[in-house]
Amino acid sequence: MGANIKMEKVIRLMNQKGLNGLIIYSKGVSNMLTPSYLQYFAEFRPMGPRNAAVVTKSGEAALLVEPPWDSFRASSKTWIKDVRGGSDFVKDLVGLLRQLKLSGPVGVVASREMTFEVYSAIKRAVDVQKVDDILEEIAQVKTERELELIRKVARITDAGADAFINGARVGVREYELVAELEYVMRSEGADDIFILMSSGKHNNEMHEPTDRRFRKGDVIIGEISPGCEGQFMQLCRTIYLGKPSPVLQEKYDILLRALDASLAATRTGASASVITSTMNQVIGEAGYAKYCGPPYMRSRGHGFGVGSIAPGAELTDKMQTRLERHQVVAVHPNQYIPETGYLACGESVLVMDTGVERLSKTETKLYVKEK
């Protein structure tokens, strides 16, 4: 969404809520599970622990960052023209509010990230109103630039999946394979990467990579999650080193059916619970109903980024929230099955009015490497 459009929508929503201004805060954290409202709005990823954009209903905007020397980098990234480095952040933020003549009701976004010192100082200066929903609302409508970013991250994810599939071989350590993935995805433009992995004859879960070397007969499972400019994507795949047994293929097919059924039920307006309930129904009908909950599976999916559904939280079969158009959602029936161990299978999709757009081009199947 272009800067002018963001400002226009923020100003409109401030007027609707009777706000004189808006403070968008960040403690400098932006990752797969913690999307940053400030990064979304200012199009700049802060480094320091205290940062804030201040906007007035007349259209003035200023960005205050910590440490002060980061203002030079911020100026080269953000569309906000007035960028300042804070040497005494609390004092500087209150001074900025006064300079912009802000008083009365002022909205605060991401107040949960504020320290007590910052929140108390703001509350003494203005009438604080918590309004995270303002940024959530404007983020629900994606522009072509945002959609292109989503598809760019999908291409980065595919590059990582290709490195995962081609690099998995006997003798390689788990962390060595992850290093190959990191190199490829960083080269393609990723600025953040999260990877879980496990290998062995019978995996119980995915975890951070270890120094274990891959052996013939291993099942290798991976969850690949790169990010770029605050947008994340996720792909879950399983590789077998050797000739798989018919049982392994049969059980993996259950996950493929669960994935296809859940994606077929996913569209704008559908309850988010349909993703989990559909997967659980398919896996339960295959005889594994007792395994459709912890500790045998971790999550059936989650959202990514500001304006998505359940970013950082799992999608459950009790979630009644409706899916919105253009939300990016990870859908993965990752599952422990007694005969095979834990298996990984999943996609990231773009919710559409008539279904989903599968963002990855990497084929969804059990990958077999006999040599």
Structure confidence at residue 108 as a pLDDT band (50, 70, 90): very high
Average pLDDT over residues 150-162: 97
Query: How distant, in Å, are the alpha carbons of 48, 135, 181, 352, 370 from that of 51?
Result: 7, 17, 32, 35, 52
What tens digit of pLDDT does each residue of 306-357 get?
A: 888 877 778 899 998 999 999 999 999 999 999 999 999 999 999 999 999 9
Average pLDDT over residues 88-116: 96
CATH superfamily for domain 144-369: Creatinase/methionine aminopeptidase superfamily (3.90.230.10)
Predicted pLDDT at 3:
59
pLDDT, mean over the chain: 94
Average pLDDT over residues 165-188: 98
Q: Show contacts of 199-207: CB within 8 Å, 24+ apart.
A: 199/174, 200/341, 201/341, 202/340, 202/341, 203/341, 203/342, 204/336, 204/341, 204/342, 205/295, 205/298, 205/336, 205/342, 206/298, 206/334, 206/342, 206/344
Average pLDDT over residues 293-313: 87
Predicted pLDDT at 298:
85
Average pLDDT over residues 197-226: 97
Best CA proximity match to 353, nearest among 272, 274, 266, 245: 266
Best CA proximity match to 275, nearest among 331, 326, 234: 331
Domain boundary assignment for the chain: 3-139, 144-369
Determine if residue 47 is left, alpha or beta; phi over 0 gives left, psi from -120 to 50 gives alpha, anything else beta.
alpha
> Position 149: which residue type?
L
Please check the confidence at residue 254 and state whether its pLDDT lies above 60. Answer: yes
* CB-based contact 45:26 (threshold 8 Å): no
* CB-based contact 237:367 (threshold 8 Å): yes
Please check the confidence at residue 359 and state whether its pLDDT lies above 60. Answer: yes
Average pLDDT over residues 149-160: 97
Predicted pLDDT at 1:
46
Q: Is the dihedral of CA 173, 176, 181, 184 positive or negative?
A: negative
Best CA proximity match to 292, nearest among 303, 278, 310: 278
Q: What proportion of the chain, given as a percentage, has pLDDT over 70?
A: 99
Q: Which fold has domain 3-139?
A: Creatine Amidinohydrolase; Chain A, domain 1 (3.40.350)
Please check the confidence at residue 2 and state whether its pLDDT lies above 60. Answer: no
What tens digit of pLDDT does each residue of 139-152 get?
A: 988 888 899 999 99
Best CA proximity match to 14, nearest among 66, 51, 60, 55: 55
What tens digit of pLDDT does each residue of 257-287 get?
A: 999 999 999 999 999 999 999 999 999 999 9
Predicted pLDDT at 311:
75
Higher pLDDT, 305 or 104: 104
What tens digit of pLDDT does each residue of 110-150 get?
A: 999 999 999 999 999 999 999 999 999 999 888 888 999 99
Instruction: Report how far residue 275's alpha carbon sits from residue 278's, in angstroms, rounded to the nearest whole number.
Output: 6
Predicted pLDDT at 93:
97
Cis omega (within 30 of 0) on the bond before 67? yes
What tens digit of pLDDT does each residue of 36-79 get?
A: 999 999 999 998 999 999 999 999 999 999 999 999 999 999 99
H/E run at residue 330: strand 328-331
> Position 316: which residue type?
T
* CB-based contact 206:344 (threshold 8 Å): yes
Predicted pLDDT at 292:
96
